[in-house]
Structure 1
Amino acid sequence: MTTNAMAVPGQSYESLRDEVRGLVQSWRQAGRYSPSSDSWLRGFDPEFSRELAARGLIGITWPTAVGGRGLSNVARLAVTEELLRAGAPVAAHWVGDRQIGPAIVRHGSERLKAEILPGIISADYVFCLGMSEPEAGSDLASLQTTASRVEGGWLVKGRKVWTSGAHHATHIYLLARTTRGEKKHVGLTEFIVDMDSPGIAVSPIVDLAGEHHFNEVSFDEVFVPEHRVLGEIDRGWAQVVEQLSFERGGPERFLTTYPILAEIVEAPAEAVADVAVDVGQLVARLATLRELAWQVARALDAGDAPVQQAATLKYLGNAFEHDVLEVARKAFDGGHGRRGRLGGSGFRSALLASPGYSIRGGAAEVLLSLIARQEIM
């Protein structure tokens, strides 16, 4: 098979795509990275992120007044598709670029923008997400971490779990309860916290593949200055919902296993003849998922928060990622068949990590609940 699985009609932004393709090709030829699955979460390389920053490829959707390029979310989608299909090591800047920066642009004070956005754009700041807790995963509004008012700011106490990249992070986005009431969605506030603040401790969580990117983060009376509040106090839930559209509606929700699909597609036809129909179906599904991602990007450009559309993309995308692995298992006999172990695409690692695909960013049951609330036209 020689079909390019990404060859789908649509707005192309070819100059951006060509720039990214040239960059990843030069890094691969120099042996500076090898394509891998889950690269947006596990592929941590600050130098690669700084190279993107030097080319103006981080924060491209942000206004020029804050250091961005003022381009569309559709333009950013073209960049991120190319990075993910190449399995490039983008984890160092991914969270900051994808959702924290846009949240600060929309809701942050002028002081917060000036303090944080330049560090994200330059790839000097690495963000992690302080959302999930031991007793509040997909039911995010049930979180128990508290932030109490003190002179000049807040004191935070509690724990966050499954915090990817916290051991590398310079900053953490933190969702904490600032007021208790009858409705759990009320009384939540967003904060931007320095990871070197006294009272923060990071404990590693090693996954089934023996890899460390998850962590538990504890906060023991951590002081957060008043100006590090993101948006409105006690009204953070609406901002979280908007932010999740950025998190759930991107191509990382269906391109995590693309390097493995590409290896099958690019294999000699006779070597994978027994899965030809399966591969054709995967490529067709990929085209549909890409169109959904473009719809989400266009909605974001229109100023909307496409909650249901993003949930739909993530739900269908996670199923696609799992099916790619199943087809790979058949094509390569679990990595020990006709062509031997999959080269470079990390089949074993991806397979062991795959149970988490449908949990991170929201469990399938939560996504189906959101999808069911869509208006019937």
Structure 2
Amino acid sequence: MSSLFSFPSPPPCPQAEALRGEVRDFLATELAERSPLRRAESWNGFDADFSRRLGARGWIGMTWPKRYGGHERSALERYVVLEEMLAAGAPVAAHWIADRQSGPNLLRYGTEAQRLSLLPRMAAGEHFFCIGMSEPDAGSDLASVRTRATRVAGGWVVNGTKLWTTNAHLCHTMIMFCRTGRPDETADRHGGTSQFLVDLTLPGVTIRSIDALTGEHHFNEVVLQDLFLPETALIGTEGGGWSQVMSELAFERSGPERFLSSFALLVELMRVIGRDPSERAAIAVGRLAAHIASLRRLSRSVAGLLAAGADPALQAAMVKDLGALVEQEIVEIARQLVPPEAGGDTYAAVLAYLTLHAPSFSLRGGTREILRGIIARGLGLR
């Protein structure tokens, strides 16, 4: 049991710490005019030009082989770039999913043709990906998906709907998880599923916006109606979708975005309480800092396991669950310590923005209930 939940220390990486200063200097110039409220967007900030500039510096696809447009740098160097971007509130959404999970998914399961076609453009910050997992009436229970790809001459015909598809309206390609086996072929809820590459400009794809409480348009409903996909769109093996998507989710659930989404508010809170905080404020902020330091250690360990080819799905679920708790706690503690009317306009704006977004932190990437079910199974409790 202990081996299931081990978080080994990542090895020292002097190159990563040397890179940190370079990244901070870059961001100090790039984000000089970016307001705290815009920085609070965290990894929801979409700026295609910024992503292309990162690609030009070699900061997307950092660990990928050079033959696919990557740079063969270490996982810890990549981690430094990620956490510095997130802590500074950089607009990374355009390339975020491609770099975090779609690229690694193709490296592990894609064909050589898929890799050569897509990965160099992803690493250059020129080709953007979204995730087609969730569905109406399925949510985080991916085993309940109903979207189906049916074999026809030369490929597949797809019918179904994907929900909460972040930035589908701004992306080029979606990796879609769906059913390919007939309902009577297997009693295994996880069997008979596959993954496909979907060009979002194809006829048969309709993208409809789902506006957030803030009025922002990040989420979408993607309707697939008699969509034809060629044989070359299949990722990995037919019927192997469940193990592939679980591997992909380990990348999605374990990164620093899982505990830095409300970091901009913590920065503003510390600015408001100043260098001589009350005892109550000092205890609260110290506690949050300790939580973030612990989560950072766990997250960096998962990055090391992923780089070593392990499948740390359980560890990633723990990082995601604990991280969402801290992200939501930052908002509540800030509100209690410094009410919006006492912190000034900038603080109040950041607090209001993250108060509206905080409920989603324990939904995206898997609900708290789903994650704790995964952890319980790992402990042999269910």
* TM-score computed with the length of structure 2 as normaliser: 0.91
Matched position secondary structure for 2:61 = coil
Once the two structures are superposed, residues 69-106 of structure 1 have per-residue CA deviations (whole angstroms, 9 ceiling, x without a partner) of 11222221111000000010000000000000000011
Alignment of 1:131-150 (within 5 A): 131-150=133-152
Aligned length: 365
Alignment of 1:99-118 (within 5 A): 99-118=101-120
Mapped pair 1:24 → 2:27: yes
Match of 1:306 among 305, 312, 317: 312
Moved more, 59-68 or 278-287: 59-68
Matched position secondary structure for 2:196 = strand
Structure 1 residues 275, 248: closer, same or farther in 2, change over 3 A?
A: same
Given residue 60 of structure 2, which amino acid in structure 1 is its aligned partner? I
Give unmatched runs, 5+ long, in structure 2: 1-10
Once the two structures are superposed, residues 187-209 of structure 1 have per-residue CA deviations (whole angstroms, 9 ceiling, x without a partner) of 11101111101011111111111
Alignment of 1:169-248 (within 5 A): 169-180=171-182, 181-248=186-253
Once the 2 structures are TM-superposed, how far is the Cα of residue 144 of structure 1 from its aligned partner? 0.3
Structure 1 residues 272, 163: closer, same or farther in 2, change over 3 A?
A: farther
Q: 2:5 aligns to what?
A: none
- Alpha-carbon separation, structure 2, partners of 1:84 and 1:138: 25
Q: 2:3 aligns to what?
A: none
Q: 1:6 aligns to what?
A: none
Mapped pair 1:119 → 2:97: no
Matched position secondary structure for 1:164 = coil
- Alpha-carbon contact 2:64-2:72 (below 8 Å) kept: yes
Structure 1 residues 32, 63: closer, same or farther in 2, change over 3 A?
A: farther
- Alpha-carbon contact 2:269-2:347 (below 8 Å) kept: no
Once the 2 structures are TM-superposed, how far is the Cα of residue 374 of structure 1 from its aligned partner? 2.9
Matched position secondary structure for 1:179 = coil
Structure 1 residues 53, 345: closer, same or farther in 2, change over 3 A?
A: farther
Mapped pair 1:292 → 2:303: no
- Alpha-carbon contact 1:264-1:272 (below 8 Å) kept: no
Matched position secondary structure for 1:182 = coil
Structure 1 residues 296, 245: closer, same or farther in 2, change over 3 A?
A: same
* TM-score computed with the length of structure 1 as normaliser: 0.92
Q: 2:287 aligns to what?
A: 281
Moved more, 42-51 or 267-276: 267-276
Structure 1 residues 210, 30: closer, same or farther in 2, change over 3 A?
A: closer
Once the 2 structures are TM-superposed, how far is the Cα of residue 290 of structure 1 from its aligned partner? 0.4
- Alpha-carbon separation, structure 1, partners of 2:307 and 2:85: 21
Match of 1:369 among 368, 373, 382: 373
- Alpha-carbon separation, structure 2, partners of 1:272 and 1:206: 40
Q: Which has the higher helix share?
A: 2
Once the 2 structures are TM-superposed, how far is the Cα of residue 223 of structure 1 from its aligned partner? 1.3
- Alpha-carbon separation, structure 2, partners of 1:33 and 1:276: 22
- Alpha-carbon contact 2:62-2:72 (below 8 Å) kept: yes
Mapped pair 1:319 → 2:322: no
- Alpha-carbon contact 2:40-2:89 (below 8 Å) kept: yes
- Alpha-carbon separation, structure 2, partners of 1:19 and 1:345: 30
- Alpha-carbon separation, structure 2, partners of 1:135 and 1:66: 38
Q: 1:151 aligns to what?
A: 153
- Alpha-carbon separation, structure 2, partners of 1:277 and 1:10: 31
Root mean square deviation of aligned Cα: 1.9
Q: 1:37 aligns to what?
A: 40
Given residue 112 of structure 1, which amino acid in structure 2 is its aligned partner? Q
Mapped pair 1:164 → 2:166: yes
- Alpha-carbon contact 2:52-2:126 (below 8 Å) kept: yes
Give unmatched runs, 5+ long, in structure 1: 1-8
- Alpha-carbon contact 1:33-1:88 (below 8 Å) kept: no
- Alpha-carbon separation, structure 2, partners of 1:43 and 1:29: 16
Once the 2 structures are TM-superposed, how far is the Cα of residue 35 of structure 1 from its aligned partner? 4.7
Once the 2 structures are TM-superposed, how far is the Cα of residue 38 of structure 1 from its aligned partner? 4.1
Given residue 316 of structure 1, which amino acid in structure 2 is its aligned partner? L
Structure 1 residues 132, 373: closer, same or farther in 2, change over 3 A?
A: same
Q: 1:252 aligns to what?
A: 257
Q: 1:349 aligns to what?
A: 353
